[in-house]
Structure 1
Amino acid sequence: MTEQENSSQMNGRPSLPIERGFPIEKVNAIAEKESRAGRWYRPVYTMHKWWSRKVGSLFRAITLYTLLDENTTKKDVELYEPSENETLGDFPKDIDNLVESINDVDMDNPDSLWDFYHKDIRIKDKKILDPFMGGGTSISESSRFGIDSVGIDLNPVAWFISKKQLDAGETTVEDLDSAFQEIKSDVEDEVKKYYVTPCPNGTHNADVIYNFWVKKIRCISCNHKIPLFRDYRVAKGRYENDEKYNTYCPECESITYTKNDGPESECNDCGNLFSHKEGNVTRGGYYNCSECGQKASITDAIEDQDGYDIQLYAVEYYCETCDNKGLGKNSYKAYKKAGPEDNAVLS
Protein backbone atom coordinates (compact mmCIF):
# COMPACT_ATOMS: atom_id res chain seq x y z
CA MET A 1 0.00 0.00 0.00
CA THR A 2 1.39 3.41 -0.96
CA GLU A 3 1.62 6.35 1.43
CA GLN A 4 -1.09 8.15 -0.56
CA GLU A 5 -3.48 5.19 -0.35
CA ASN A 6 -2.82 4.81 3.37
CA SER A 7 -3.41 8.54 3.90
CA SER A 8 -6.67 8.51 1.94
CA GLN A 9 -8.02 5.60 3.96
CA MET A 10 -7.05 7.30 7.21
CA ASN A 11 -8.99 10.36 6.05
CA GLY A 12 -12.04 8.23 5.41
CA ARG A 13 -12.15 8.62 1.63
CA PRO A 14 -11.57 6.13 -1.18
CA SER A 15 -8.21 6.08 -2.95
CA LEU A 16 -7.90 7.80 -6.31
CA PRO A 17 -6.25 6.45 -9.46
CA ILE A 18 -3.92 9.46 -9.57
CA GLU A 19 -2.54 8.43 -6.17
CA ARG A 20 -1.55 5.04 -7.54
CA GLY A 21 -0.28 5.91 -11.00
CA PHE A 22 -0.43 8.49 -13.78
CA PRO A 23 0.25 8.07 -17.55
CA ILE A 24 2.85 10.83 -17.67
CA GLU A 25 4.44 9.67 -20.94
CA LYS A 26 1.08 9.54 -22.73
CA VAL A 27 0.08 12.95 -21.40
CA ASN A 28 3.45 14.51 -22.25
CA ALA A 29 3.16 13.46 -25.88
CA ILE A 30 -0.11 15.38 -26.27
CA ALA A 31 0.73 18.25 -23.93
CA GLU A 32 3.95 19.02 -25.80
CA LYS A 33 2.05 19.47 -29.05
CA GLU A 34 -0.57 21.63 -27.38
CA SER A 35 1.96 23.88 -25.64
CA ARG A 36 4.44 24.26 -28.51
CA ALA A 37 1.91 24.67 -31.31
CA GLY A 38 -1.13 26.05 -29.55
CA ARG A 39 -2.62 27.58 -32.66
CA TRP A 40 -3.19 24.08 -34.08
CA TYR A 41 -3.56 21.85 -31.02
CA ARG A 42 -5.28 24.02 -28.41
CA PRO A 43 -8.67 22.87 -27.09
CA VAL A 44 -11.70 23.87 -29.15
CA TYR A 45 -13.07 26.04 -26.33
CA THR A 46 -9.98 28.29 -26.14
CA MET A 47 -11.03 31.84 -26.98
CA HIS A 48 -8.17 34.03 -25.78
CA LYS A 49 -4.51 33.92 -24.87
CA TRP A 50 -3.89 33.85 -21.13
CA TRP A 51 -0.64 34.29 -19.25
CA SER A 52 0.91 30.97 -18.30
CA ARG A 53 -2.14 29.02 -19.43
CA LYS A 54 -1.93 25.38 -18.44
CA VAL A 55 -2.54 22.90 -21.22
CA GLY A 56 -6.01 21.40 -21.45
CA SER A 57 -4.76 17.88 -22.14
CA LEU A 58 -2.97 17.78 -18.79
CA PHE A 59 -6.04 18.96 -16.87
CA ARG A 60 -8.27 16.48 -18.68
CA ALA A 61 -5.99 13.63 -17.64
CA ILE A 62 -5.77 14.92 -14.06
CA THR A 63 -9.56 15.20 -13.89
CA LEU A 64 -10.07 11.70 -15.28
CA TYR A 65 -7.62 10.19 -12.79
CA THR A 66 -8.94 12.20 -9.83
CA LEU A 67 -12.75 12.24 -9.99
CA LEU A 68 -13.05 8.51 -10.50
CA ASP A 69 -12.23 6.45 -7.41
CA GLU A 70 -12.23 2.90 -6.14
CA ASN A 71 -15.90 3.15 -5.11
CA THR A 72 -17.10 4.29 -8.55
CA THR A 73 -19.83 2.05 -9.95
CA LYS A 74 -21.68 1.83 -13.25
CA LYS A 75 -24.39 4.08 -11.81
CA ASP A 76 -21.90 6.89 -11.21
CA VAL A 77 -20.77 7.37 -14.81
CA GLU A 78 -22.10 7.58 -18.34
CA LEU A 79 -19.81 6.64 -21.20
CA TYR A 80 -20.28 7.41 -24.88
CA GLU A 81 -18.29 7.06 -28.05
CA PRO A 82 -17.44 10.47 -29.56
CA SER A 83 -20.06 11.32 -32.15
CA GLU A 84 -19.56 12.82 -35.58
CA ASN A 85 -22.39 15.29 -35.06
CA GLU A 86 -20.53 16.99 -32.19
CA THR A 87 -22.97 15.67 -29.59
CA LEU A 88 -22.84 12.65 -27.34
CA GLY A 89 -23.04 9.34 -29.12
CA ASP A 90 -26.25 7.37 -28.78
CA PHE A 91 -25.10 4.15 -27.15
CA PRO A 92 -23.21 3.75 -23.86
CA LYS A 93 -20.29 1.38 -24.18
CA ASP A 94 -17.56 -0.23 -22.08
CA ILE A 95 -18.90 0.85 -18.67
CA ASP A 96 -17.76 -2.42 -17.13
CA ASN A 97 -14.28 -1.96 -18.58
CA LEU A 98 -14.11 1.59 -17.24
CA VAL A 99 -14.98 0.57 -13.68
CA GLU A 100 -12.53 -2.31 -13.84
CA SER A 101 -9.77 -0.06 -15.20
CA ILE A 102 -10.12 2.37 -12.29
CA ASN A 103 -8.94 -0.25 -9.83
CA ASP A 104 -6.23 -1.56 -12.17
CA VAL A 105 -4.25 1.69 -12.09
CA ASP A 106 -0.93 1.41 -10.28
CA MET A 107 2.72 2.30 -10.83
CA ASP A 108 3.19 -0.75 -13.06
CA ASN A 109 0.03 -0.07 -15.05
CA PRO A 110 -0.58 3.72 -15.06
CA ASP A 111 -2.15 3.57 -18.54
CA SER A 112 -5.12 1.49 -17.43
CA LEU A 113 -7.57 4.41 -17.79
CA TRP A 114 -5.89 5.97 -20.81
CA ASP A 115 -8.15 4.23 -23.34
CA PHE A 116 -11.01 6.33 -21.96
CA TYR A 117 -9.20 9.67 -22.24
CA HIS A 118 -10.70 10.44 -25.67
CA LYS A 119 -14.23 9.23 -24.91
CA ASP A 120 -17.25 11.23 -23.76
CA ILE A 121 -17.53 10.51 -20.04
CA ARG A 122 -20.08 12.02 -17.68
CA ILE A 123 -19.25 11.69 -13.98
CA LYS A 124 -22.15 12.17 -11.58
CA ASP A 125 -22.28 13.92 -8.19
CA LYS A 126 -18.84 15.52 -8.33
CA LYS A 127 -17.83 19.16 -7.92
CA ILE A 128 -14.63 21.10 -8.54
CA LEU A 129 -13.46 24.38 -7.02
CA ASP A 130 -10.55 26.35 -8.45
CA PRO A 131 -10.02 29.47 -6.30
CA PHE A 132 -7.33 30.81 -8.66
CA MET A 133 -8.76 29.82 -12.04
CA GLY A 134 -6.85 32.23 -14.30
CA GLY A 135 -7.75 31.37 -17.90
CA GLY A 136 -10.20 28.73 -16.71
CA THR A 137 -8.54 25.59 -18.06
CA SER A 138 -9.43 23.55 -14.98
CA ILE A 139 -13.13 24.39 -14.93
CA SER A 140 -13.46 24.16 -18.71
CA GLU A 141 -11.96 20.68 -18.77
CA SER A 142 -13.95 19.48 -15.77
CA SER A 143 -17.18 20.78 -17.32
CA ARG A 144 -16.55 18.47 -20.27
CA PHE A 145 -17.07 15.59 -17.83
CA GLY A 146 -20.47 17.04 -16.86
CA ILE A 147 -19.15 18.17 -13.49
CA ASP A 148 -20.37 21.21 -11.55
CA SER A 149 -17.38 23.56 -11.60
CA VAL A 150 -16.77 26.72 -9.61
CA GLY A 151 -13.95 29.09 -10.50
CA ILE A 152 -12.80 32.20 -8.64
CA ASP A 153 -10.29 34.87 -9.62
CA LEU A 154 -9.65 38.48 -8.59
CA ASN A 155 -8.89 39.45 -12.18
CA PRO A 156 -12.10 40.42 -14.03
CA VAL A 157 -10.48 39.49 -17.37
CA ALA A 158 -9.95 35.96 -16.06
CA TRP A 159 -13.61 35.78 -15.09
CA PHE A 160 -14.75 37.06 -18.49
CA ILE A 161 -12.58 34.64 -20.47
CA SER A 162 -13.56 31.64 -18.36
CA LYS A 163 -17.26 32.52 -18.41
CA LYS A 164 -17.33 32.95 -22.19
CA GLN A 165 -15.47 29.68 -22.71
CA LEU A 166 -18.20 27.88 -20.82
CA ASP A 167 -20.93 29.85 -22.60
CA ALA A 168 -19.46 28.82 -25.95
CA GLY A 169 -20.40 25.23 -25.22
CA GLU A 170 -24.05 26.25 -25.30
CA THR A 171 -23.76 28.44 -28.40
CA THR A 172 -24.25 27.42 -32.01
CA VAL A 173 -21.63 28.03 -34.68
CA GLU A 174 -24.14 30.21 -36.53
CA ASP A 175 -24.63 32.46 -33.49
CA LEU A 176 -20.88 32.78 -32.99
CA ASP A 177 -20.35 33.68 -36.63
CA SER A 178 -23.15 36.23 -36.53
CA ALA A 179 -21.66 37.89 -33.44
CA PHE A 180 -18.22 37.92 -35.04
CA GLN A 181 -19.50 39.53 -38.22
CA GLU A 182 -21.25 42.22 -36.17
CA ILE A 183 -18.06 43.05 -34.26
CA LYS A 184 -16.01 42.90 -37.45
CA SER A 185 -18.21 45.43 -39.21
CA ASP A 186 -17.86 47.83 -36.26
CA VAL A 187 -14.09 47.73 -35.71
CA GLU A 188 -12.41 46.17 -38.76
CA ASP A 189 -11.35 49.40 -40.45
CA GLU A 190 -10.10 50.97 -37.21
CA VAL A 191 -8.08 47.91 -36.15
CA LYS A 192 -6.67 46.81 -39.51
CA LYS A 193 -5.05 50.17 -40.23
CA TYR A 194 -2.49 49.27 -37.56
CA TYR A 195 -1.76 45.91 -39.18
CA VAL A 196 -0.67 46.79 -42.71
CA THR A 197 2.83 46.64 -44.13
CA PRO A 198 4.28 47.15 -47.62
CA CYS A 199 4.54 43.79 -49.37
CA PRO A 200 8.14 43.16 -50.46
CA ASN A 201 6.85 41.59 -53.69
CA GLY A 202 5.17 44.69 -55.15
CA THR A 203 3.63 48.09 -54.51
CA HIS A 204 0.61 46.78 -52.59
CA ASN A 205 0.12 46.17 -48.87
CA ALA A 206 0.12 42.94 -46.89
CA ASP A 207 -1.42 42.07 -43.52
CA VAL A 208 0.76 42.09 -40.41
CA ILE A 209 0.63 38.85 -38.44
CA TYR A 210 3.16 39.78 -35.78
CA ASN A 211 5.48 42.67 -34.93
CA PHE A 212 8.88 41.97 -33.35
CA TRP A 213 10.33 44.48 -30.90
CA VAL A 214 13.70 44.79 -29.18
CA LYS A 215 14.89 46.99 -26.33
CA LYS A 216 17.70 49.47 -27.08
CA ILE A 217 20.13 51.23 -24.78
CA ARG A 218 23.15 53.50 -25.26
CA CYS A 219 26.62 52.23 -24.46
CA ILE A 220 27.88 53.91 -21.30
CA SER A 221 31.30 54.36 -22.92
CA CYS A 222 30.75 55.45 -26.54
CA ASN A 223 27.02 56.29 -26.58
CA HIS A 224 26.42 53.83 -29.42
CA LYS A 225 22.81 52.58 -29.63
CA ILE A 226 22.68 48.86 -28.86
CA PRO A 227 19.68 46.59 -29.59
CA LEU A 228 19.67 43.92 -26.89
CA PHE A 229 19.60 40.47 -28.51
CA ARG A 230 20.41 37.22 -26.70
CA ASP A 231 20.66 35.67 -30.16
CA TYR A 232 19.67 36.83 -33.63
CA ARG A 233 17.22 34.09 -34.59
CA VAL A 234 13.75 35.51 -35.21
CA ALA A 235 11.77 32.39 -36.11
CA LYS A 236 12.23 28.93 -37.59
CA GLY A 237 11.86 28.70 -41.35
CA ARG A 238 8.78 27.22 -43.00
CA TYR A 239 7.97 25.08 -46.01
CA GLU A 240 11.07 24.50 -48.18
CA ASN A 241 13.15 26.49 -45.68
CA ASP A 242 12.12 24.49 -42.62
CA GLU A 243 15.74 23.53 -41.90
CA LYS A 244 16.79 27.19 -41.72
CA TYR A 245 16.08 30.16 -39.48
CA ASN A 246 14.83 33.65 -40.21
CA THR A 247 17.65 35.65 -38.67
CA TYR A 248 18.28 39.31 -37.91
CA CYS A 249 21.55 40.65 -39.32
CA PRO A 250 23.20 42.99 -36.77
CA GLU A 251 25.06 44.81 -39.58
CA CYS A 252 22.35 45.75 -42.11
CA GLU A 253 19.32 44.88 -39.93
CA SER A 254 17.72 42.76 -42.66
CA ILE A 255 15.99 39.42 -42.05
CA THR A 256 17.95 36.67 -43.74
CA TYR A 257 17.88 32.88 -43.90
CA THR A 258 20.66 31.08 -42.04
CA LYS A 259 21.36 27.44 -41.33
CA ASN A 260 21.20 26.53 -37.67
CA ASP A 261 24.33 24.38 -37.76
CA GLY A 262 27.81 25.84 -37.69
CA PRO A 263 29.28 28.62 -35.55
CA GLU A 264 28.98 31.37 -38.18
CA SER A 265 26.37 32.61 -40.66
CA GLU A 266 26.49 34.92 -43.66
CA CYS A 267 23.86 37.56 -44.36
CA ASN A 268 22.35 37.08 -47.82
CA ASP A 269 21.95 40.85 -48.23
CA CYS A 270 25.22 42.41 -47.04
CA GLY A 271 27.58 39.43 -46.73
CA ASN A 272 28.20 40.07 -43.03
CA LEU A 273 29.58 37.08 -41.14
CA PHE A 274 28.18 36.70 -37.63
CA SER A 275 27.14 34.15 -35.03
CA HIS A 276 23.36 33.89 -35.21
CA LYS A 277 23.23 31.89 -31.97
CA GLU A 278 25.02 34.52 -29.90
CA GLY A 279 23.74 38.07 -29.53
CA ASN A 280 25.23 41.02 -27.68
CA VAL A 281 23.61 40.11 -24.35
CA THR A 282 25.55 37.72 -22.14
CA ARG A 283 24.73 35.77 -19.01
CA GLY A 284 24.51 37.82 -15.87
CA GLY A 285 22.73 40.73 -17.56
CA TYR A 286 25.64 42.30 -19.47
CA TYR A 287 25.87 43.74 -22.97
CA ASN A 288 28.81 43.83 -25.38
CA CYS A 289 29.17 46.98 -27.48
CA SER A 290 30.12 46.22 -31.10
CA GLU A 291 31.62 49.70 -31.54
CA CYS A 292 34.00 50.09 -28.59
CA GLY A 293 34.06 46.59 -27.10
CA GLN A 294 32.69 47.75 -23.74
CA LYS A 295 31.06 45.09 -21.55
CA ALA A 296 28.78 46.56 -18.92
CA SER A 297 25.68 45.92 -16.86
CA ILE A 298 22.39 46.45 -18.69
CA THR A 299 20.62 47.62 -15.54
CA ASP A 300 23.39 50.17 -14.88
CA ALA A 301 23.04 51.51 -18.41
CA ILE A 302 19.25 51.76 -18.08
CA GLU A 303 19.58 53.56 -14.76
CA ASP A 304 22.20 55.91 -16.19
CA GLN A 305 19.96 56.97 -19.09
CA ASP A 306 16.65 56.85 -17.21
CA GLY A 307 15.12 54.02 -19.19
CA TYR A 308 15.46 52.38 -22.56
CA ASP A 309 14.06 52.68 -26.08
CA ILE A 310 12.23 50.04 -28.08
CA GLN A 311 12.67 49.32 -31.77
CA LEU A 312 10.41 47.53 -34.21
CA TYR A 313 12.90 45.38 -36.10
CA ALA A 314 10.93 42.68 -37.93
CA VAL A 315 7.45 41.92 -39.25
CA GLU A 316 5.74 38.64 -40.01
CA TYR A 317 3.25 39.20 -42.82
CA TYR A 318 0.67 37.52 -45.02
CA CYS A 319 -0.16 38.88 -48.47
CA GLU A 320 -3.50 37.82 -49.91
CA THR A 321 -2.67 39.44 -53.26
CA CYS A 322 0.48 37.34 -53.70
CA ASP A 323 -1.36 34.25 -52.48
CA ASN A 324 -4.04 34.74 -55.13
CA LYS A 325 -1.35 35.20 -57.79
CA GLY A 326 -0.03 31.74 -56.99
CA LEU A 327 3.33 32.85 -55.61
CA GLY A 328 5.23 30.42 -53.39
CA LYS A 329 4.30 30.12 -49.73
CA ASN A 330 7.56 31.71 -48.61
CA SER A 331 6.66 34.74 -50.71
CA TYR A 332 3.18 35.49 -49.42
CA LYS A 333 3.72 34.43 -45.78
CA ALA A 334 7.15 35.31 -44.45
CA TYR A 335 9.29 37.64 -42.33
CA LYS A 336 10.88 40.93 -43.37
CA LYS A 337 12.80 43.88 -42.02
CA ALA A 338 10.62 46.56 -40.45
CA GLY A 339 10.75 49.74 -42.51
CA PRO A 340 9.85 53.41 -42.01
CA GLU A 341 6.26 52.76 -43.12
CA ASP A 342 5.81 50.18 -40.35
CA ASN A 343 7.03 52.59 -37.69
CA ALA A 344 4.84 55.37 -39.12
CA VAL A 345 1.72 53.21 -38.81
CA LEU A 346 2.42 52.55 -35.13
CA SER A 347 3.53 56.05 -34.19
Structure 2
Amino acid sequence: MIEQSFNIPFISNIALREKQIQQNYRPIIAVHKWFARRPGTLFRGLLLSEFSEKPLEQAFYESNNLAGLQIADPFMGGGTPILEANRIGCDVTGFDINPMSYWIVKQEIEHLDLDAYAQAAEELRAALENEIGSLYRTRCTLCGSDDAHVKYFLWVKTIPCQGCKKDIDLFPGYLLSANARHPKNVLICPSCGELTETDDKKNPGSCSHCVTELTAIGPAKRSRCTCSACGTDNRYPNAELGAPRHRLFALEYHCL
Protein backbone atom coordinates (compact mmCIF):
# COMPACT_ATOMS: atom_id res chain seq x y z
CA MET A 1 0.00 0.00 0.00
CA ILE A 2 1.11 3.53 -0.74
CA GLU A 3 0.59 4.59 2.88
CA GLN A 4 3.09 1.99 4.07
CA SER A 5 5.46 1.45 1.14
CA PHE A 6 5.98 4.86 -0.49
CA ASN A 7 9.44 6.15 0.39
CA ILE A 8 9.36 9.95 0.07
CA PRO A 9 13.12 10.66 0.50
CA PHE A 10 14.04 7.89 -1.97
CA ILE A 11 11.67 9.15 -4.68
CA SER A 12 12.35 12.83 -4.01
CA ASN A 13 16.08 12.44 -4.63
CA ILE A 14 15.55 10.62 -7.93
CA ALA A 15 12.76 12.98 -9.06
CA LEU A 16 14.94 16.02 -8.36
CA ARG A 17 17.71 14.58 -10.49
CA GLU A 18 15.24 13.74 -13.27
CA LYS A 19 13.93 17.32 -13.40
CA GLN A 20 17.46 18.72 -13.41
CA ILE A 21 18.49 16.71 -16.46
CA GLN A 22 15.10 16.32 -18.14
CA GLN A 23 16.48 17.53 -21.48
CA ASN A 24 18.56 14.33 -21.60
CA TYR A 25 16.31 11.91 -19.72
CA ARG A 26 13.11 10.03 -20.49
CA PRO A 27 12.95 11.13 -24.16
CA ILE A 28 9.44 9.72 -24.70
CA ILE A 29 7.79 12.40 -22.58
CA ALA A 30 9.86 15.05 -24.35
CA VAL A 31 7.84 14.60 -27.56
CA HIS A 32 5.92 17.75 -26.64
CA LYS A 33 5.76 20.22 -23.79
CA TRP A 34 2.90 20.00 -21.30
CA PHE A 35 1.89 22.25 -18.44
CA ALA A 36 3.55 21.43 -15.10
CA ARG A 37 4.51 17.94 -16.20
CA ARG A 38 5.34 15.82 -13.16
CA PRO A 39 8.41 13.58 -13.11
CA GLY A 40 7.90 10.01 -14.26
CA THR A 41 9.84 8.85 -11.21
CA LEU A 42 6.98 9.98 -8.98
CA PHE A 43 4.32 7.90 -10.73
CA ARG A 44 6.54 4.85 -11.07
CA GLY A 45 7.11 5.06 -7.33
CA LEU A 46 3.40 5.47 -6.56
CA LEU A 47 2.38 2.54 -8.76
CA LEU A 48 5.02 0.17 -7.42
CA SER A 49 4.28 1.19 -3.83
CA GLU A 50 0.64 0.29 -4.32
CA PHE A 51 0.87 -2.86 -6.44
CA SER A 52 4.30 -4.45 -5.93
CA GLU A 53 4.98 -6.75 -2.99
CA LYS A 54 8.69 -5.89 -2.96
CA PRO A 55 10.23 -2.93 -1.12
CA LEU A 56 10.10 0.16 -3.32
CA GLU A 57 13.88 0.62 -3.28
CA GLN A 58 14.24 -2.87 -4.78
CA ALA A 59 11.28 -2.90 -7.18
CA PHE A 60 12.08 0.52 -8.62
CA TYR A 61 15.23 -0.67 -10.38
CA GLU A 62 13.90 -4.07 -11.43
CA SER A 63 11.89 -5.14 -14.46
CA ASN A 64 8.23 -5.26 -13.42
CA ASN A 65 5.27 -6.87 -15.14
CA LEU A 66 1.87 -5.96 -13.73
CA ALA A 67 -0.04 -7.43 -16.69
CA GLY A 68 -3.80 -7.53 -16.18
CA LEU A 69 -3.83 -4.49 -13.93
CA GLN A 70 -6.11 -1.77 -15.33
CA ILE A 71 -5.01 1.85 -14.83
CA ALA A 72 -7.28 4.71 -15.93
CA ASP A 73 -6.52 8.43 -15.94
CA PRO A 74 -9.58 10.59 -16.72
CA PHE A 75 -7.49 13.78 -16.84
CA MET A 76 -4.33 12.46 -18.48
CA GLY A 77 -2.86 15.78 -19.66
CA GLY A 78 0.67 15.09 -20.89
CA GLY A 79 0.26 11.39 -20.10
CA THR A 80 3.06 10.79 -17.61
CA PRO A 81 0.98 8.45 -15.33
CA ILE A 82 -0.23 6.54 -18.41
CA LEU A 83 3.29 6.11 -19.72
CA GLU A 84 4.73 4.96 -16.41
CA ALA A 85 1.91 2.46 -15.89
CA ASN A 86 2.43 1.11 -19.40
CA ARG A 87 6.17 0.72 -18.78
CA ILE A 88 5.53 -1.71 -15.93
CA GLY A 89 3.05 -3.80 -17.92
CA CYS A 90 -0.31 -2.33 -16.92
CA ASP A 91 -3.25 -2.01 -19.30
CA VAL A 92 -3.92 1.72 -19.56
CA THR A 93 -6.83 3.95 -20.55
CA GLY A 94 -6.58 7.72 -20.69
CA PHE A 95 -9.04 10.54 -21.31
CA ASP A 96 -8.84 14.29 -21.65
CA ILE A 97 -11.12 17.03 -22.93
CA ASN A 98 -8.15 18.72 -24.61
CA PRO A 99 -7.54 17.26 -28.11
CA MET A 100 -3.89 18.29 -27.89
CA SER A 101 -3.52 16.04 -24.86
CA TYR A 102 -4.89 13.11 -26.86
CA TRP A 103 -2.49 13.76 -29.75
CA ILE A 104 0.56 14.10 -27.49
CA VAL A 105 -0.11 10.92 -25.51
CA LYS A 106 -0.92 9.01 -28.70
CA GLN A 107 2.44 9.98 -30.20
CA GLU A 108 4.23 9.12 -26.97
CA ILE A 109 2.78 5.66 -26.54
CA GLU A 110 2.03 4.20 -29.97
CA HIS A 111 4.39 1.95 -31.93
CA LEU A 112 7.22 3.73 -33.72
CA ASP A 113 8.61 2.52 -37.03
CA LEU A 114 12.28 3.09 -36.25
CA ASP A 115 13.43 2.69 -39.86
CA ALA A 116 10.91 5.24 -41.15
CA TYR A 117 11.77 7.56 -38.29
CA ALA A 118 15.50 7.34 -39.02
CA GLN A 119 14.92 8.02 -42.72
CA ALA A 120 12.70 11.05 -42.03
CA ALA A 121 15.19 12.39 -39.48
CA GLU A 122 18.07 12.07 -41.96
CA GLU A 123 16.05 13.85 -44.66
CA LEU A 124 15.29 16.69 -42.26
CA ARG A 125 18.92 16.91 -41.13
CA ALA A 126 20.16 17.02 -44.74
CA ALA A 127 17.66 19.73 -45.70
CA LEU A 128 18.62 21.88 -42.71
CA GLU A 129 22.32 21.34 -43.35
CA ASN A 130 21.91 22.46 -46.95
CA GLU A 131 19.90 25.56 -46.02
CA ILE A 132 21.53 26.87 -42.84
CA GLY A 133 24.45 24.58 -42.01
CA SER A 134 27.05 27.17 -42.98
CA LEU A 135 25.70 29.51 -40.29
CA TYR A 136 26.62 26.98 -37.60
CA ARG A 137 30.31 26.55 -38.39
CA THR A 138 33.32 28.12 -36.72
CA ARG A 139 37.07 27.68 -36.50
CA CYS A 140 38.37 25.31 -33.82
CA THR A 141 40.89 27.07 -31.61
CA LEU A 142 42.75 23.80 -31.00
CA CYS A 143 43.19 22.24 -34.45
CA GLY A 144 42.36 25.18 -36.73
CA SER A 145 39.58 23.38 -38.62
CA ASP A 146 36.95 25.69 -40.11
CA ASP A 147 34.34 22.93 -39.90
CA ALA A 148 33.67 22.88 -36.15
CA HIS A 149 29.91 22.54 -35.51
CA VAL A 150 28.45 25.24 -33.27
CA LYS A 151 26.06 23.99 -30.58
CA TYR A 152 25.25 27.28 -28.83
CA PHE A 153 25.75 30.98 -29.46
CA LEU A 154 26.07 32.69 -26.09
CA TRP A 155 24.92 36.31 -25.79
CA VAL A 156 24.91 38.83 -22.95
CA LYS A 157 22.76 41.93 -22.60
CA THR A 158 24.64 45.24 -22.50
CA ILE A 159 23.81 48.82 -21.51
CA PRO A 160 25.88 52.03 -21.83
CA CYS A 161 27.14 53.40 -18.53
CA GLN A 162 25.32 56.61 -17.62
CA GLY A 163 28.60 58.05 -16.38
CA CYS A 164 31.32 57.22 -18.92
CA LYS A 165 29.18 55.69 -21.73
CA LYS A 166 31.24 52.50 -21.72
CA ASP A 167 29.21 49.37 -22.48
CA ILE A 168 28.52 47.23 -19.41
CA ASP A 169 27.89 43.50 -19.75
CA LEU A 170 24.92 42.55 -17.59
CA PHE A 171 26.35 39.29 -16.29
CA PRO A 172 24.63 38.18 -13.07
CA GLY A 173 27.58 35.84 -12.62
CA TYR A 174 30.80 34.99 -14.44
CA LEU A 175 30.54 31.20 -14.02
CA LEU A 176 29.62 30.03 -17.51
CA SER A 177 29.68 26.28 -16.87
CA ALA A 178 30.23 24.23 -13.73
CA ASN A 179 32.16 20.98 -13.71
CA ALA A 180 28.93 18.98 -13.49
CA ARG A 181 28.39 18.99 -17.28
CA HIS A 182 31.87 20.14 -18.32
CA PRO A 183 35.22 18.59 -17.32
CA LYS A 184 36.18 21.81 -15.53
CA ASN A 185 34.59 25.04 -14.33
CA VAL A 186 34.54 27.70 -17.05
CA LEU A 187 34.62 31.36 -16.00
CA ILE A 188 34.39 34.57 -18.01
CA CYS A 189 37.09 37.12 -17.34
CA PRO A 190 35.52 40.40 -16.12
CA SER A 191 38.35 42.34 -17.77
CA CYS A 192 39.15 40.85 -21.19
CA GLY A 193 36.05 38.65 -21.63
CA GLU A 194 38.02 35.51 -22.47
CA LEU A 195 37.18 32.10 -20.99
CA THR A 196 39.33 30.26 -18.46
CA GLU A 197 38.99 26.68 -17.21
CA THR A 198 39.61 26.08 -13.52
CA ASP A 199 39.32 23.19 -11.07
CA ASP A 200 38.10 25.23 -8.09
CA LYS A 201 35.23 27.65 -8.73
CA LYS A 202 35.49 29.12 -5.23
CA ASN A 203 39.16 29.95 -5.74
CA PRO A 204 39.45 30.15 -9.53
CA GLY A 205 42.75 32.02 -9.65
CA SER A 206 43.56 34.43 -12.47
CA CYS A 207 42.60 34.72 -16.13
CA SER A 208 44.83 32.63 -18.39
CA HIS A 209 44.84 35.46 -20.95
CA CYS A 210 45.27 38.71 -19.01
CA VAL A 211 45.98 37.49 -15.42
CA THR A 212 43.00 39.44 -14.00
CA GLU A 213 41.67 37.85 -10.80
CA LEU A 214 38.64 35.72 -11.64
CA THR A 215 35.37 35.75 -9.72
CA ALA A 216 32.02 34.00 -10.09
CA ILE A 217 30.13 37.10 -8.92
CA GLY A 218 28.87 39.27 -11.77
CA PRO A 219 28.16 43.02 -11.81
CA ALA A 220 24.40 42.86 -12.50
CA LYS A 221 22.02 42.21 -9.62
CA ARG A 222 18.45 43.28 -8.87
CA SER A 223 18.27 45.76 -11.76
CA ARG A 224 21.48 47.53 -10.72
CA CYS A 225 24.97 47.40 -12.17
CA THR A 226 28.13 49.25 -11.14
CA CYS A 227 30.46 50.33 -13.95
CA SER A 228 33.93 48.84 -13.50
CA ALA A 229 35.51 51.80 -15.29
CA CYS A 230 34.06 54.82 -13.47
CA GLY A 231 32.08 53.35 -10.56
CA THR A 232 28.71 54.78 -11.63
CA ASP A 233 25.71 52.92 -10.22
CA ASN A 234 23.49 52.16 -13.22
CA ARG A 235 19.89 50.97 -13.15
CA TYR A 236 18.18 48.82 -15.73
CA PRO A 237 15.87 48.52 -17.53
CA ASN A 238 15.95 52.21 -18.42
CA ALA A 239 13.05 53.63 -20.42
CA GLU A 240 15.24 56.40 -21.84
CA LEU A 241 17.83 53.92 -23.15
CA GLY A 242 15.30 51.49 -24.54
CA ALA A 243 15.86 47.74 -24.68
CA PRO A 244 19.38 46.49 -23.86
CA ARG A 245 21.59 45.50 -26.75
CA HIS A 246 23.18 42.08 -27.05
CA ARG A 247 26.79 41.01 -27.48
CA LEU A 248 27.98 37.61 -28.64
CA PHE A 249 30.63 36.61 -26.12
CA ALA A 250 31.21 32.89 -26.66
CA LEU A 251 30.43 29.84 -28.77
CA GLU A 252 30.10 26.25 -27.68
CA TYR A 253 31.06 23.95 -30.52
CA HIS A 254 31.96 20.36 -31.33
CA CYS A 255 34.94 19.68 -33.56
CA LEU A 256 34.66 16.42 -35.50
The offset of 1:194, in angstroms, is 3.1
- Alignment of 1:120 with 2:70, yes or no, is no
- Alignment of 1:43 with 2:43, yes or no, is no
TM-score, normalised to structure 2's length? 0.80
Equivalenced residue count is: 250
Residue 251 of structure 2 aligns with an amino acid whose one-letter code is V
In 2, the alpha carbon distance for the partners of 1:116 and 1:264 equals: 43
- Alignment of 1:289 with 2:227, yes or no, is yes
1:161/1:296 Cα in 2 relative to 1: closer, same or farther (>3 Å)? farther
Indicate the SS of the match to 2:135. coil
Does the 8 Å contact 2:147/2:255 carry over to 1?
yes
- Alignment of 1:249 with 2:222, yes or no, is no
Give structure 1 stretches of 5+ with no counterpart. 1-16, 69-97, 102-110, 321-347
Q: Which has the higher contact order (CA 8 A, sep 6+)?
A: 2
In 2, the alpha carbon distance for the partners of 1:152 and 1:35 equals: 27
In 2, the alpha carbon distance for the partners of 1:61 and 1:50 equals: 22
Equivalent residues in 2 for 1:190-339, closer than 5 Å:
190-200=131-141, 201-237=143-179, 242=183, 244-263=184-203, 265-275=205-215, 277-282=216-221, 284-299=222-237, 301=238, 303-320=239-256
The offset of 1:233, in angstroms, is 1.0
1:32/1:121 Cα in 2 relative to 1: closer, same or farther (>3 Å)? same
- Alignment of 1:23 with 2:23, yes or no, is no
Indicate the SS of the match to 2:193. coil
Does the 8 Å contact 1:210/1:316 carry over to 2?
yes
In 2, the alpha carbon distance for the partners of 1:160 and 1:252 equals: 50
RMSD: 3.1
In 1, the alpha carbon distance for the partners of 2:32 and 2:92 equals: 24
Give CA deviations for 1:29-64 in whole Å, capped at 9, x if unaligned. Answer: 433442333455x12524447476533222322344
Identity %: 25
- Alignment of 1:179 with 2:120, yes or no, is yes
Does the 8 Å contact 1:287/1:297 carry over to 2?
yes
Does the 8 Å contact 2:43/2:80 carry over to 1?
yes
Give structure 2 stretches of 5+ with no counterpart. none
Equivalence for 1:92: none
Indicate the SS of the match to 1:45. helix
Query: Higher Cα Rg: structure 1 or 2?
Result: 1
